[in-house]
Amino acid sequence: MIDRHDYSPWDFWSTASENSRRAQRSWQDRLERDHPTWAIGDDCFVSQIAAVDADELVLGDRSYIAASAYITGVVRIGADCSINPSAVVRGDVVLGDGVRMGALSSVLGFNHSMEPGTPVFRQPLTSRGIRIGDDVWIGSHVVVLDGVTVGASAVLAAGAVVTKDVAPGAVVGGNPARLLRWRVPPAEGAIEATGSSAPAGLRERLTRFADRARADAPDLLARSLDSATGLFTDRPGTRPTVRAHGDAIEIADLLLGSPPPGVDAAELVTRLRGWQDAATGAVPPLDAPDIPGWDDGDTAYHVLSTGYALDLLGAAFPHPIGLIVDATPTSIIERLNALPWDSDPWNAGHHVDALGTALLWTRRRGDAAAPGIAEALVGWLLTRADPASGMWGRPSPDRGLLLLVNGFYRASRGTFAQHGIPLSYPDAVIDTTLRHARDDRWFAAAQLDACNVLDVAHPLWLTRTSGYRSAEVAAVATRLLDDILGQWQAGAGMSFRLADADPGLQGTEMWLAIVWYLADLLGHSVALGYRPRGVHRPEPAPLS
């Protein structure tokens, strides 16, 4: 039996009979039992005649879904939200708190491809996702299309067709939607006299950050040098690693313009070269009982960290790298096809990074490699990039765009960036990266770690010349720098995860590079007085 609360649920818990309340609680319990990926908060209402068929659903406290609403995909709805009668929410959609969605409106976080020659119904779906901030009013008959972000306190007037991002506090209407007026006028931030998009005082803060880092560099390097073995550890109390040596060399080069103090450079070169296996060209972990295959994550990364450490010391690998010299174009394509692009694009990108860097060192050494290796590697990436995201792989239900964006950074760093090759879809990369940077699971100030932030900063820098959404890119760079610049720990550097109190070489090296990229996006990297030259170098690596 249809109850008036199915269509007018806002006063259900204050006016419904006890029997109706009991039935609603039982209904929600059943929904959560039948759908392990659903979570329904307290004092919610879900009409039994709503079509809720989501792969994942989060419904915040005191939110409701009215009759004939249609919900599919991966949908996260905050507290005090309303999905009114016959509203549609589909795809990758996140609503903040206090979002009120009028009847017959649609928020569509996916789209059909439309390449000619194939009927639309046979075309694959694409999804860039929709993010709607807190306290947003969506009038009736509104349509919000895939890829849009709506800022907090905005209003989407009845009948609006929203195809582009809506600024916080804006009131928009029409088809396509345009600014009508301001509900909350934008603050006038102080802008430097240079005309850059950076806020006033940023240049001085960057200079202070870099000066402090240079002053502390000898101490933070010394604290990670194990006096018993003469080897570098990431931080005191941990075991020596190959990567720690690369990080130490990069930090010293960046801040001091020299090898690490107190370490003989010639002995350091001999040690690094001696760690390379002559038969395979691999540098295994220091504690490995034998030589791991190239699928080992540490061994793959040592192509980067050891190769660039030697390069900064004016040396090179003594042996060819089998990852490239033993390969053929066919085996490269087979390796790329076998990587876990759909389930773990970060891991896939990690191994592409090693392939691209091994190709660099092979060219530098002049080692013979099968013709067509580079074409197979880059050609596969060019033809497999998703036009909707600009990236390789797909989002995951539990972590959203995290692995996709992080994998893109690794894959593009080792190939397109390192070898100076243009990307296929730079604007799509910007869209995807900006959308990811709004996910508070990874980018709230208390959640920042060096991997996630670098993997946003570098793609935005790599695509900066397009000028696409440049104001939003600048806003992201400014926000992240605000969260980062005060996190240096005296004499010790920076923690990989900013909220942790365990600074080490890896976190310090990565954050130094991140600060440079973000500052350069704002036109102020010169204030730092350094520029990365190793793994995180911005320019393509020279071939000689």
CB 59 within 8 A of CB 44: yes
Whose CA is closest to 373, among 435, 423, 328? 328
Q: Any long-range contacts for 173-179 (C-beta under 8 Å, 24+ apart)?
A: none
Q: Give the C-alpha separation, 148 to 360, whole Å.
A: 39
**Angstrom distance (rounded) from CA 431 to CA 476:** 13
Other Cβ atoms within 10 Å of 276 Cβ, number: 21
Alpha-carbon distance of 387 to 42, in angstroms, equals 40
Considering all CA atoms of the chain, what is the largest pairwise distance in Å, rounded to the nearest integer? 84
The whole-angstrom separation of Cα 148 and Cα 305 is: 38
Burial of residue 65, with CB atoms counted within 10 A of its CB: 0-12 exposed, 13-18 middle, 19 or more buried: buried
Cα-to-chain-centroid distance, residue 478: 16
- The alpha carbon dihedral of 143, 148, 149, 155 has a sign of negative
Would you give the DSSP letter of residue 194?
T
Q: Report the C-alpha gap between 393 and 372 in whole angstroms.
A: 24
Q: Which among 5, 35, 112, 419 is annotated as catalytic?
A: 112
Find all residues with CB under 8 Å of 504, minimum gap 6, and list them: 224, 234, 235, 238, 493, 495, 496
Note if the bond before 176 is cis, omega within 30 degrees. Answer: yes
Is there a catalytic annotation at residue 5?
no
Long-range pairs for 469-472: beta carbons < 8 A, 24 or more residues apart = 469/165, 469/430, 469/431, 469/434, 470/197, 471/197, 472/165, 472/434
Output the CA–CA distances (angstroms, integers) from residue 194 to 197, 198, 380, 520, in the order listed. 9, 9, 43, 14
Instruction: Quote the CA–CA distance of 496 and 504 in Å, as a whole number.
Output: 7
Are residues 252 and 260 in contact, defined by beta-carbon separation less than 8 angstroms? Answer: yes
Q: Would you state the torsion angle of the CA atoms of residues 114, 117, 118, 123, taken in this order, to the nearest 10 degrees?
A: -30
What is the rounded CA–CA span in Å between residue 355 and residue 381?
12
d(CA 189, CA 199): 7
Q: Is 128 exposed, middle or buried (0-12, 13-18, 19+ CB in 10 A)?
A: buried
Residue with tokens 């995180």: 536
Measured distance CA(344)–CA(404) in Å, rounded? 8
**Which residues are tagged catalytic?**
112
